[in-house]
Amino acid sequence: MHELSICRNIVTIVSDAAKGRRVRKVTLEIGKLSGVMADAVAFSFDIATQGTALEGAGLEIKEIEGRARCLECGAEFPTATLFEACACGSRNVERIAGEELNVKSMELEEAA
Ligand SMILES: [Zn+2]
């Protein structure tokens, strides 16, 4: 499952950064155009964190709406698909948000 391997990557990144401390909470940013299902990530997170520094950690997912900018007229507009045309008719648009898959922040337990 795609989301499970994503969660395993997140576990690797976060446990490296935690340097042996336990992780209380992880906040992710997932763009709605990234093709990653937030629900599936939440489900996979519990599996991927078992036996790691993240076991039992809370997970918060911030979903990011897609946005695009038209390269013809400069308009910015929300977009729910990867290939949406601008209101001016141009399809020469670039995506400026919505493809994120980031570890936004994490909370660690106090060092002993
Ligand atoms: Zn336009």
Angular region, 3: left φ>0, alpha ψ -120 to 50, beta rest: alpha
Q: What per-residue confidence (pLDDT) applies to 112?
A: 60
Distance (angstroms) between ligand 1 centre and the Cα of 90 equals 5
Low-confidence residues of the chain: pLDDT under 70: 1, 111-112
The Cα 84–Cα 95 span in angstroms is 10
DSSP assignment letter at 65: -
Q: What per-residue confidence (pLDDT) applies to 1?
A: 55
Q: What is the pLDDT of residues 29-47, one digit of tens each?
A: 999 999 999 999 999 999 9
Distance (angstroms) between ligand 1 centre and the Cα of 63 equals 25
Q: Which residues contact 62 (CB under 8 A, 6 or more apart)?
A: 27, 28, 29, 30, 104
Distance (angstroms) between ligand 1 centre and the Cα of 45 equals 40
Distance (angstroms) between ligand 1 centre and the Cα of 37 equals 29
Whole-model pTM: value is 0.86
